[in-house]
Structure 1
């Protein structure tokens, strides 16, 4: 039996042959929205797919980042330049990095560099003991990768407590992390009596 569309909603209309116009519109909207969302997920998955991936030590490219541990982390200039204005200038003008294909990063280790590179390829990052948010934030700020900097700020903002408040305030000041600064300042204000002495002692 064909479904009839009526003007007035009938109780439990999804169980019978009647559908009100409001329900029809809702079903149509859901059908339209579901497909693009599914397609978007497939596109993101496709764009993030690398084999081997940027986190792999066997990943190769046309530029290498060498940290203080002297372990090279490879990437592609085109990708990195597209995510960082600093890298763009580095590879577009006659700087030593353009000629040599090597970027020396004396204030980072390979796991941190690898996490930064992976984010530039996949927009995804997993903070670990070897690649903590504090160290990734430092490079995101240094190389002007604003989206990654925002992710680091969010991560650091979630874990503020009495013990690390002073460190979070330092990080916010050094790396111009405005969101982190605002969250840390609010925590300081809300817990003033408990943290004031500790913060003053550590900042002085």
Structure 2
């Protein structure tokens, strides 16, 4: 039995069009197959965006409800090497970071003082870290680089921020920075960044090998 290009009840397609889905005894014409393929491609393109949105929502939903009553005002400050304080709420920061969670709930000096001293970060970086914990948004600039944010996200275990930084660093890989990016991946356990560098090397091996070979040949210290 045939109906509008569909072959049912055990019938077979005589057109030999290559579009048959014989497991279901169905044949579709080429235009329908092309339309389905186009829709599947669009879904594949949208999936990463949806995945990022889901992660962002889950990140924003995470907070420590217990100290909510006593945290009606900003009750913690982060002080970097430039001595400019950045203020936040403990229950927000503890919900986004396992390190801050332990820091504010255990008998540590930060719990009593309400001050977290961060000697290896600027106030600009700390401000971006705090803002991200509230909004899941970040703008990378010269003062707030993806490298610096990767470092602080790893230090305080802010996982979604770390994912965003790795994605940003992966997008701008080139022949001049891939070594530094690989080093960053190993220093801060950046599995996604490490994978991106490996794929970059695989895709550009010939050009990179030529570049390295020419550089070595010009080195006067090598005999």
- TM-score bracket, normalised by the shorter chain, equals 0.5 to 0.7
Report the RMSD for the aligned CA atoms in angstroms: 2.1
Partner of 1:104: 117
Q: Displacement of 1:68 after TM fit? A: 1.0
Q: Displacement of 1:70 after TM fit? A: 1.1
Partner of 2:172: 159
* CA radius of gyration, larger in: 2
Partner of 1:81: 94
Measured against aligned partners, the alpha-carbon deviations of 1:74-123 in whole angstroms (never above 9, x if no partner) come to: 11111000100000000001100001110011111011110010000011
Alpha-carbon distance in structure 2 between the residues aligned to 1:195 and 1:73? 43
1:113 pairs with 109, 121, 126, which one?
A: 126
Extract unaligned runs of 5+ from structure 2. 1-56, 61-72, 217-223
Alpha-carbon distance in structure 2 between the residues aligned to 1:194 and 1:96? 53
Partner of 1:189: 202
Structure 1 counterpart SS, 2:134: helix
After TM superposition, the score normalised by the length of structure 2 is 0.61
Structure 2 counterpart SS, 1:117: helix
Alpha-carbon distance in structure 2 between the residues aligned to 1:75 and 1:87? 12
Extract unaligned runs of 5+ from structure 1. 1-43, 48-59
* Residue 146 (1) aligns with residue 146 (2): no
After TM superposition, the score normalised by the length of structure 1 is 0.66
Instruction: Give the count of matched residue pairs.
Output: 144
Alpha-carbon distance in structure 2 between the residues aligned to 1:133 and 1:84? 18
Alpha-carbon distance in structure 2 between the residues aligned to 1:68 and 1:95? 21
